[in-house]
Each structure stands twice: as C-alpha cells, then as structure tokens.
Chains A and B, each alone.
Chain A
Amino acid sequence: ETAVFQTPNYHVTQVGNEVSFNCKQTLGHDTMYWYKQDSKKLLKIMFSYNNKQLIVNETVPRRFSPQSSDKAHLNLRIKSVEPEDSAVYLCASSYSNSDYTFGSGTRLLVI
C-alpha cells in the first residue's frame, strides 16, 4: 500500500516531557511537510523538507525540531512539551510542488 503513515495516532503526555512523532511515505515523493492543526481547526505549516533539505521553517518555538533521515521519512520531535502544543499534527508529502497526500494525523494531548 502506498500512502503516508503516521505514528502514533494518539499520545498523552505531561508538561515538560519530550515526544517524537514519526512519518513515513511510500509514494516516492521528494518533499515532506509537518502541519499543526490547533483547537480552532486552523492548519498551519511548520516545516517542509525537499530531498532531505529543510526548505520551509515557519516561526515555531525552538522546542520543535524536524528530523529527516531520507526522503521517505520526516519525524517531529518536541522537547519539553507545553499545554499549547496540544493539537493534531499532520504529515504530508508531495512530488516537488505537486498535490499533497496527507497522513491520518497524530493527536497530542499535553496534561
């Protein structure tokens, strides 16, 4: 099956902990993205990588860091989570500037 796969689906953690989300695409795309969807359902881009190079780095807190080992993987690490990090994190991929394919999302709850 070719798609964008995200793990975990859901994660609950306490303030100050570190979390890491995984994203893998099997579509042969060369560009991957992380979006954050907050409680108001607004989707905002955080990062995008093209051929393992960071090309979009929006203004996000420094505790967020993307990690790309190859074109098919783009993970997201959050050091010392805060309550406002509670959101759905969506991973997507595309071939260059073509249409996105999204994963099903990772819902983070910080308590």
Chain B
Amino acid sequence: GDSVTQTEGQVTVSESKSLIINCTYSATSIAYPNLFWYVRYPGEGLQLLLKVITAGQKGSSRGFEATYNKETTSFHLQKASVQESDSAVYYCALRGDTNAYKVIFGKGTHLHVLP
C-alpha cells in the first residue's frame, strides 16, 4: 500500500537558521500521488501548509517550500530562515488514486526553534 516516511522525532534549530525535514513516499496505487505538508501549531488543529499535485512542481507557503521529486520519490520541506513561531509538528502526506477519499500521513516531525 501507499506510505510516507519522514524525519522522525524532534528537530531543534536555532532561529534564523535553515531547516530541512525529509519526506519520502511510496505510492503503489498511482504513479503521481498528490503530496501535502500539514502542520499543527501548539494549541491549534491540524491544518494544510502546502500541497503539490504535479510532479516537478514546487509548493510554497509561509516561507516554506517543498518540491515534488518523482525520481527520488521525495517531498522534503525546507525553509531558509526559521522563526520561533514555526515551532510545531509537521506531517508529510499523500493521496493516491485508487481511493481518493483517503490521505496517508507520515508520523510527524516536531520542530523546536530556539530563540
């Protein structure tokens, strides 16, 4: 079945430093799944950060970027300069095709930004 693997556990970065959270996927149901990054800020619900539905394209939001790489089956999340307010849990996710009403999530990465 479809699956998502991302950097596990907690990532600690100092403010203004760069960030990368790795995400790779395996999609057996479809050649080109839709890819997402969701985020949960402290005290808030899970919300969509960005999405890309076309291989080779880049999505961006709030200074974060992720490029859909079909060759390496990756969708890494990057930011050039993190802020303390970026501290949150980030989830990589995909939606395959055989059952489009189902999004598969990774285990989440807790980002802690030091002031």
Contact B101 A50 (CB under 8 A): yes
Number of A-B contacts (CB under 8 A): 44
The residue that B103 contacts in the complex, of A50, A100, A103, with Cβ under 8 A, is A100
A97 near B45: Cβ-Cβ < 8 Å:
no
Within 8 A of B (CB), among A80-111: 90, 92, 97, 99-105
B50-70 near A? 1/0 per residue, CB < 8 Å: 010000000000000000000
Q: Is the CB of B46 within 8 A of A56?
A: no
Q: Return the contact of A102 from the options B36, B47, B101 (Cβ within 8 A).
A: B47
Question: In the complex, which of the residues A4, A44, A97, A101 contacts B95, with contact meaning CB atoms closer than 8 Å?
Answer: A97
Interface residues of A in 39-81 (CB under 8 A from B): 40-45, 48, 50, 55-56
Number of chain B interface residues as a range: 20 to 34
Chain A residues within 8 Å of B25, by CB: none
Contacts of B72 in A (CB 8 A): none
Q: A97-B95, A99-B51 are in contact. Are A45 and B103 (CB under 8 A)?
A: yes
- C-alpha gap A40/B105 in the complex (Å): 13
Contact A43 B105 (CB under 8 A): yes
Chain B residues lying within 8 Å of A100, measured Cβ to Cβ, are: 38, 48, 103
Please determine whether B45 and A48 come into contact, CB atoms closer than 8 angstroms. Answer: no
List, in ascending order, chain A residues with CB within 8 A of B47's CB. Answer: 101-102
Contact of A56 among B36, B45, B102, B108 (CB under 8 A): B102
CB of B75 closer than 8 Å to a CB of A: no
Would you call B46 and A48 a contact (CB within 8 A)? Answer: no
Which A residues lie at the B interface, using CB under 8 A? Answer: 4, 31, 33, 35, 40-45, 48, 50, 55-56, 90, 92, 97, 99-105
Q: 8 closest A-B pairs (Cβ-Cβ)?
A: A43-B105, A102-B46, A104-B45, A97-B100, A48-B101, A102-B45, A41-B108, A99-B48
